[in-house]
Amino acid sequence: MESYYAALTYTDTLENDNDHIMVKLQLHGEKESVTINARIDSGPTEDFIDREVCNKHGIKMIRSKNHREIYLADGKPSAMGPVTHMTKVPMDISSHRELATFQVANLENHEVILGMPWLRVHNPTIDWNDKRITFNSKRCTTWCLKSSPLAYAVPEDKALEENLITRFS
């Protein structure tokens, strides 16, 4: 069984808003498109999507050949459970479009987490003070962008409230 590492705990309260940024994105599932909030975080070694989001919005899950445990930074297993599925889904962040690959997990507090694989591939410039993301890498300006390279973060409390509303509606 392979392992993934995540900097999150199962009941992460997000008390420190300086180590990540929240952004609105649109996922285009087989049944419908949905706008949700994602956490961009350099701690996780994979990109994750919540299993419930996949089920609710018709995002096709593909069974992984090998189940993978998720471990926290301290080496303890995560309560998110093993990763048994992955998915590929069209995703927009502002005018930035891509076919995103996610590991499917029980995230509880988040709908999508964009970790180091996504950060490495797209290499965006993140202005942490102004909460602005600029997609100015050669890859993004060549392949991903339809227009302006800027995307703006959403306030953490608003994003989490919207996530709860989406989860229970």
| DSSP secondary structure, 35-101, as one string | EEEEEEESS-SS-EEEHHHHHHHT---EEEEEEEEEEETTSPBPTT--EEEEEEEEEEETTEEEEEE
- For residue 119, give both structure tokens: 């950060």
Tell me, what's the pLDDT at 17? Answer: 56
pLDDT of amino acid 164:
84
For 20, 51, 60, 118, the CA distances from 6, given in Å and listed in that order, are 13, 16, 23, 14
Q: Per residue in 45-85, pLDDT tens?
A: 999 999 999 999 999 999 999 888 888 888 888 888 889 99
Residue 18: its pLDDT value, please?
65
- From 3.40.50.300, 1.25.40.10, 2.40.70.10, 3.40.640.10, which CATH number describes the 2-9+19-168 domain? 2.40.70.10
Please state the rounded mean pLDDT for residues 33-42.
94
Confidence of residue 3 (pLDDT cuts 50, 70, 90): very low
Over the stretch 132-156, which tens digit does the pLDDT of each residue have? 899 999 999 999 998 777 888 889 8
**For residue 13, is pLDDT > 80?**
no
Q: What is the pLDDT of residue 76?
A: 87
Handedness of CA 131, 17, 157, 96 (dihedral sign): positive
Minimal CA–CA distance to 89: which of 117, 65, 112?
A: 112
With tokens 């303890």, the residue in question is 76
31 three-class SS: coil
**Is residue 41 very low, low, confident or very high in pLDDT (cuts 50, 70, 90)?**
very high
Q: Which stretch of DSSP H or E encloses residue 26?
A: strand 20-28
Mean pLDDT for the stretch of residues 85-89:
97
pLDDT higher for 66 or 19?
66
Q: CA–CA separation, 34 vs 54, rounded Å?
A: 11
Which residue type is seen at 127?
D
d(CA 124, CA 83): 27
pLDDT digits (tens, 9 = 90+) for 96-145: 999 999 999 999 889 999 999 999 999 999 988 888 899 999 999 999 99
